[in-house]
Structure 1
Amino acid sequence: MSDRITTPRLSIPRLGLGTWRLSGAQCQASVESALAMGYRAVDTAEMYKNEEAVGAGIKASGLPRGDVFLTSKVWWENLGRIRQHCEASLERLGTGYLDLYLIHWPSPELDLPRALHDLARLREDGLARAVGVANFPAGLLKRAIETGVPIAANQVEYHALLSQDRLLGITRAQDIVLTAYAPLAQGRLASDPRIQAIAGRHGVTAAQVALAWLLRQEGVNVIPKATGPESQKANLEALDLAGRLTDADVAEIDALPKDQRFVNPAFAPDWNA
């Protein structure tokens, strides 16, 4: 299994570093540590209010900018001023371009053609190498695809307790990467006894099994938050474990309930749409 997912629109590491709820010096140190360890993808957003720290961590790593796949997102309340907000993100991050720029959430009054047109212009003008969306349910993603804008990714909550089969049916057919955030169900899977039993057979942790289950899937990349070197290293090791899970292991995880969503703010879309 390759450590990268390559489509006609982007080539992205299968495992990246999520930075939601990291800030300041801790965020910068986490980014530096991850990059020193071998991570080559970092995910942030204007709403996280940590872009300066993420940019400082990338700069301090000493890596060439082209070696780091950097994703940021525009908040749903700012979709009428996408270019302005992208430029502000670039300034905070200290870079001339993003590898991927996403609409963070669809707003209740989303003007989809206009927002996607504005995203496409960012790509044409070199501010973003690829563009996409986040938290788009299947019906809305289909509408987005129909606009003709080259959507490279859809970032959504995805883990062993939440099915994304409807979305995967679309993303795989359209060469769109599905990025899994909250891949440990906000920590719940690390202590799930059913996952722990599988972990015991492999001499690994339940968190590593949960990540490996996602990492082995076609067209799925995963962005767990990992603050310190120990958890960052454990997550990297899940890449190798993904190739060692047995059919029986996978079947056990597949059989878990898949209807538990933990990120569902008041402004969220109708997930069944």
Structure 2
Amino acid sequence: MTEQTTATGAVPELTLNNGVTIPQLGFGVFQIPPEETRVAVAQALAAGYRHIDTAAAYRNESGVGAAIAESGMTREDIFITTKLRNGDQGSPREAFEASRTALGVDWIDLYLIHWPVPSQGLFTQAWKELESLYAQGRIRAIGVSNFLPEHLDELLATSTVVPAVNQIEAHPTFAQAGLAEKSRRHGIAVEAYSPLGQGRDLENEVVAELAAAYGATPAQVVLAWHLGLGNIVIPKTVSPERMRENLAASTIKLSNADLARISALETGTRIGADPAVAAFTQL
């Protein structure tokens, strides 16, 4: 593991299964309106973030691209993740090109199948196209999102390239520890979205107690828990102050006992859709 130095401290970088490095703490733009994304990403880059996570379904890729273009940073300095919409699984090459164009970049660092949508029966076919784009150097790493164990098994049975990442809903009360362990066993890094439980997990007494003990905010403690488990994590906020606070979580090292206390908050309650049955097109 290496570290990337920022104004708020050192952000660790994980090495993916193909040797590509990714900043472990990034900035997510889910639910940020397109017209606000440009400003939010510019502020995130100014705060020290070098990993931006978007998706075609968020309809704000162009805002991400505009902020990056105006930042004055070289393309190599910023890690960009975007995702294939569910309704585009039948035409992933065209969808990739649309995302690349919207972002205004020559390549994408990490491209994910956003949801398996098992009812469509297309994700293994889409993966073959991603493998082709990867082989051509158009994408530095390919991965999946919201893939449950059975979806990983189906994909791995026919794939040539093992996914670099599985981006899943993960937070203290819904850590999906079994899925995370299976992913890692296959060399697939775990990336957490909704890492704070959309704010709900910050109200837990254990989190509050640890925040006081470490002289940190509840959000910083939860993000430090993710980092301690080895998760890649992409919190979202439009507040510059919160951006800096979240980034500073990389300086907090929780003890193994405190990591375990937070992991014990598991309730099995999912916030988002169930990937086993989710079938929305995102179009």
TM-score by length of 1: 0.92
Residue correspondence of structure 1 range 98-113 to structure 2 within 5 A:
98-107=108-117, 108-113=119-124
Q: Which deviates further from its counterpart, 162-171 or 133-142?
A: 162-171
Which of 256, 261, 266 does residue 252 from structure 1 map onto? 261
Which of 77, 89, 94 does residue 79 from structure 1 map onto? 89
Q: Secondary structure at the match of 2:91?
A: helix
Structure-2 separation of matches of 1:210 and 1:92: 33
Residue correspondence of structure 1 range 107-256 to structure 2 within 5 A:
107=117, 108-147=119-158, 148-218=160-230, 220-241=231-252, 243=253, 245-256=254-265
Structure-2 separation of matches of 1:142 and 1:95: 33
Unaligned residue ranges in structure 2 (runs of 5+): 3-11, 279-283
Letter matched to residue 45 of structure 2: L
Structure-2 separation of matches of 1:133 and 1:251: 27
Q: Secondary structure at the match of 1:178?
A: strand
Q: Secondary structure at the match of 1:133?
A: strand
Identity of aligned residues (%): 38
Cα distance, 1:121 vs structure 2: 1.0
Q: Is the 8 A contact 2:17 2:188 kept in 1?
A: no
Which of 53, 58, 61 does residue 68 from structure 2 map onto? 58
Structure-1 separation of matches of 2:195 and 2:88: 27
Q: Is the 8 A contact 2:162 2:188 kept in 1?
A: no
Structure-1 separation of matches of 2:37 and 2:184: 33
Unaligned residue ranges in structure 1 (runs of 5+): none
Which of 7, 10, 26 does residue 16 from structure 2 map onto? 7
Q: Is the 8 A contact 1:23 1:53 kept in 2?
A: no
Cα distance, 1:166 vs structure 2: 1.8
Q: Is 1:261 matched with 2:273?
A: no
RMSD of the alignment, in Å? 1.6
Where does residue 50 of structure 2 map in the other structure? 40
Where does residue 7 of structure 2 map in the other structure? none
Q: Is the 8 A contact 1:190 1:205 kept in 2?
A: no
Letter matched to residue 32 of structure 2: L
Letter matched to residue 155 of structure 1: Q
Structure-1 separation of matches of 2:134 and 2:62: 22
Cα distance, 1:159 vs structure 2: 0.6
Q: Deviations over 1:146-178 (max 9, x none)?
A: 222231111100010113222222222222111
Q: Deviations over 1:193-229 (max 9, x none)?
A: 22111101111111111111001113x2001112121
Q: Is the 8 A contact 1:137 1:270 kept in 2?
A: no
Structure-1 separation of matches of 2:267 and 2:161: 31
TM-score by length of 2: 0.89
Q: Secondary structure at the match of 1:186?
A: helix
Q: Which deviates further from its counterpart, 221-230 or 140-149?
A: 140-149
Runs ≥4 residues deviating over 3 A: none
Cα distance, 1:190 vs structure 2: 2.3
Cα distance, 1:270 vs structure 2: 5.3
